[in-house]
Structure 1
C-alpha cells in the first residue's frame, strides 16, 4: 500500500473513532442511563386483601429443568388464592408427567397440567400454549396472571413482591429480567452482554415512567418486558387482546408490553434479584441459537435495517479497538487516543452489568469481541430466514413470523 493510500485509511479510521466516541458519550448520558443496574422492583406496600393469581407456565420438552424450577414456584409464600397452570405443549420427554410427579412430591400451590394440541397456522407454539392457559385461568377469575417460563426459578416471596409492586405502583405489567445462568466461559462472554444490549435497546427507566402526562415522550414510546417473568393484570390482558393480538410474534414479551401500553396500560421492567433462569447454555452453539432465532425478527425482517444494524455495531463496538491498533501502527497518537477513549467509555458502561452477574472486570474490554459475535449471529439469523428456516425452536420453524410492532 502506498504512503498516500495508507494516510487515507488512517484518516478515515480517525474520523470513525471520533464519531464512535461521540456516540458513546451520547449513550452514556442520553440513553436513559441504560448501563445502570439499579432498576429493581419499585417501592411497594402489601395490600389489605391479596388478589387471586393464576400462574401460567408454557412448557415444551422441559423435563431437564423442571426439577429445579417447578418446586420453588409451587412453594410460593403467597397469602392470597393462587394456583399454577402448566401447559404441556406437545412435549416428547414426559414434561407433563414429571410436573404432576413433582407436585405430588413437593406439594404447595395447586397444579393443573393441560395440553392445547398443536398450534394452528398463524400462532407460535408458546403463545398458543399461553392462550390455552389464560382461557383455563379465566374460570378462576384471577385479578392477575403471572406468565413465567418453565426454566425460571422463583424465590419464595417472588409472587408476593410482584403483586405488591403492581398494586402499589398501579402497574398493569410488572416484569423482571431473570438473572441468566453464567458458569461456562461462553456464558461469561455472551450472557451479561445479552442483557446489556437489551437494556441499551429498551432503557428500563424509559419503560417504567410515571403516570400518563408525566412520564415524558421517551417513557410514552418505549415498551418492553422480559418473557420469563411477567405479572399481567387480567383486565389489561383483555383490553389488549393478549395473546391473540400478538399470536405470531417471535419476540412475544416485547410485543405483549407494546400491546398493553398501546391500550393505555402502565408497565414496569427491571432486573431481578431472586428470579433466576436455570437453563444452561454451556456451548457457543447453544447461545448462538438463542440469539439468532429471533435477531432478524427484531429487525422486522428488513434488509436495510439489517445493513444499518451491522454498520452501527461496527462503528460503535469495532472501530474503537481498530483505531487503537491502526493509530499505534501508523504512529498517529490522535487516532489511538480517540479509539482508546471510546473503548474506555464502552468498557466503563459494561462494568455495572458484569458486577450484577458477579463476573470479573477483565471481561469489560472484551465487549468488542462479544459484539462481533452478536453481529455474526444477527447476519446468520437473516440468512436462515431467507433459507426458509426462520425462527427455529424446539422442533418448530416459523418461516415468516410477523415482526414486533414498531415503537410509537
Structure 2
C-alpha cells in the first residue's frame, strides 16, 4: 500500500474511535438534567403565600415539606461592553425567579461608559436590584476577568447567597433561565451547573467557524464524561456558571486560578478538586449576543487562548498540529488524490473517514440551525483552527501572550493551577 493509503487507514481508525469511544461527543442531547417534582423548591406559581417571600418552607401536593428557593446573586464581569449590554443586561434584570436574587455588575476598567450604561438600563427596565462596582486595575498575577470576579464574588458572599451565577456581559438569558439552573442544581445535588451559551451565528464566517468551535470543545471535553457519577473529564463554559457558594469557598476560587487564561476549565477543575459535583451541557435558553462578523474577530477569539490550552508546550503544539492534520486533513486529500491516482485503498479509507467526520458534525449544525452542506467543509474549518493555534504559539513566543481588550497575559508563573 502507498504511504497515503496508510495515513488514510490511520485516520479512518481514529474516526471509528471518535464515533464510538469518545463519549458520543457529537451528540447534542446533553441539556439541563430533569428534576423530580418533589426535589424542587415550591413552584413559581404557588401563591399561598409565596414561601420565598415568607421565608418558610413550602409543601408539595403530597404534603412533603420543601425548602424555599435559595438566594442567588448574579455576578457579571464587564469590560468595554456598552455595545452588547443593552441586549444582555435587561434579560438578567427580568428573571422570573421565585426567590431572592440580585445582580452585581463589575465594571472592569471600561472606557466606553459600561458602568454608567448599566445603571441607566436598570433604572429604565426595573426588575432585579442592580449594583455596579469597579475593582480598579488587577493586581500583579491576576487576569482581568478573574480579578473582576474576585471583587464581585466577595461582595456577593456578604449577601449570604446559597448560589452565585457567574455570567458574561454578552450573555442573554430567557426569563426562566435562572429558575431552571437553580432547579437543576438543587434537584440533582450539583455544586456547579454550566451551560454553553448558544453563540451568535449570522455572518458567513460565523456559520463556518462557530458551530465547529463548540464541536471541537465537546470533542476535547465530552459532556457525557463530565456529567458521569464518576467523571472522566472536567470542564465548564464560562459564559454561564451557577456555583454553590460554599463550594466556591472550599475550592478557593477565584484565588486558586487567578492567572488562568482559560478560566472556565480551571474553575471546573478547582471545584472538582474540592469534591464538587459538576454538570455541563448545551443551552436552550442562554445565548451570546456578541457579534463576530469577520474572520479577524473569530481568529483573535480562538488564538488568544489556543496555546494556553496546550500549556504553552512546543511538543504539545507539534502533536496537536500533527493530530489535526491526520484526523481532519488527510481524509479529503486521500480521497481526491486516491481517485486521481488510482489508489483505491487511499480513496476508500479517506472517503469513509470524511463521511464519518461530516456525519458527526451534522447534529451540531442542526443545533445551530445551519444548512447541512457545511458538514463536508469541516476539514477546511479545522485547517483554519490549525493556523489559529500556530498563530497563538507564535504570538506567545513573540511576547504578545494572550491579548484581550487591551490587556496581554504572559505565561503563568507564580500562580499555576494547584
Q: Could you say which TM-score interval applies, normalised by the shorter chain? A: over 0.9
**Paired residue for 2:411, among 391, 397, 400?**
400
Which residue in the other structure is 2:335 paired with?
324
**Paired residue for 1:265, among 276, 288, 291?**
276
Distance between the aligned counterparts of 2:391 and 2:254, measured in 1? 29
Which residue in the other structure is 2:144 paired with?
125
Distance between the aligned counterparts of 2:29 and 2:158, measured in 1? 38
**Paired residue for 1:36, among 27, 37, 61?**
27
Residue 345 in 1 paired to residue 356 in 2?
yes
Which residue in the other structure is 1:47 paired with?
41
Residue 92 in 1 paired to residue 111 in 2?
yes
Shift of 1:256: 0.3
Residue 196 in 1 paired to residue 190 in 2?
no
Structure 1 residues 333-342 or 51-60, which shifts more? 333-342
8 Å contact kept, 2:192–2:279: yes
Contiguous gaps of at least 5 residues in structure 2: 43-67
Which residue in the other structure is 1:111 paired with?
130
Shift of 1:92: 0.2
Indicate how the Cα distance of structure 1 residues 404 and 72 shifts in structure 2: closer, same or farther if over 3 A, else same: farther
Residue 24 in 1 paired to residue 11 in 2?
no
8 Å contact kept, 1:237–1:260: yes
8 Å contact kept, 1:351–1:364: yes
Which residue in the other structure is 1:208 paired with?
227
Shift of 1:85: 0.1
Which residue in the other structure is 2:63 paired with?
none
Shift of 1:201: 0.4
8 Å contact kept, 2:292–2:298: yes
Residue 251 in 1 paired to residue 242 in 2?
no
8 Å contact kept, 1:24–1:346: yes
Distance between the aligned counterparts of 2:225 and 2:169, measured in 1? 28
**Paired residue for 1:167, among 182, 186, 191?**
186
TM-score if structure 2 supplies the norm length? 0.92
Q: How does 1:259-298 map to 2 (within 5 A)?
A: 259-298=270-309
Residue 369 in 1 paired to residue 380 in 2?
yes
Q: How many residues align?
A: 389
8 Å contact kept, 2:195–2:237: yes
Deviating beyond 2 angstroms after TM superposition, the runs of 4 or more aligned structure 1 residues are 401-406
Which residue in the other structure is 1:224 paired with?
235
8 Å contact kept, 1:297–1:401: no
**Partner SS, residue 120 of structure 1:** coil
* Structure 1 residues 129-188: Cα deviation after superposition (integer angstroms, max 9, x where no partner): 000000100110000000000000000000000000000111100000000000000000
8 Å contact kept, 1:86–1:111: yes
Shift of 1:404: 7.5
Shift of 1:401: 3.2
Distance between the aligned counterparts of 2:397 and 2:188, measured in 1? 44
Indicate how the Cα distance of structure 1 residues 179 and 33 shifts in structure 2: closer, same or farther if over 3 A, else same: same
Distance between the aligned counterparts of 2:130 and 2:203, measured in 1? 34
**Paired residue for 1:233, among 231, 234, 244?**
244
Distance between the aligned counterparts of 1:255 and 1:290, measured in 2? 18
* Structure 1 residues 233-264: Cα deviation after superposition (integer angstroms, max 9, x where no partner): 00000000010000000000000000000111
Distance between the aligned counterparts of 2:12 and 2:412, measured in 1? 36
Q: How does 1:370-385 map to 2 (within 5 A)?
A: 370-385=381-396
Distance between the aligned counterparts of 2:366 and 2:237, measured in 1? 20
Distance between the aligned counterparts of 1:376 and 1:354, measured in 2? 23
Contiguous gaps of at least 5 residues in structure 1: 1-9
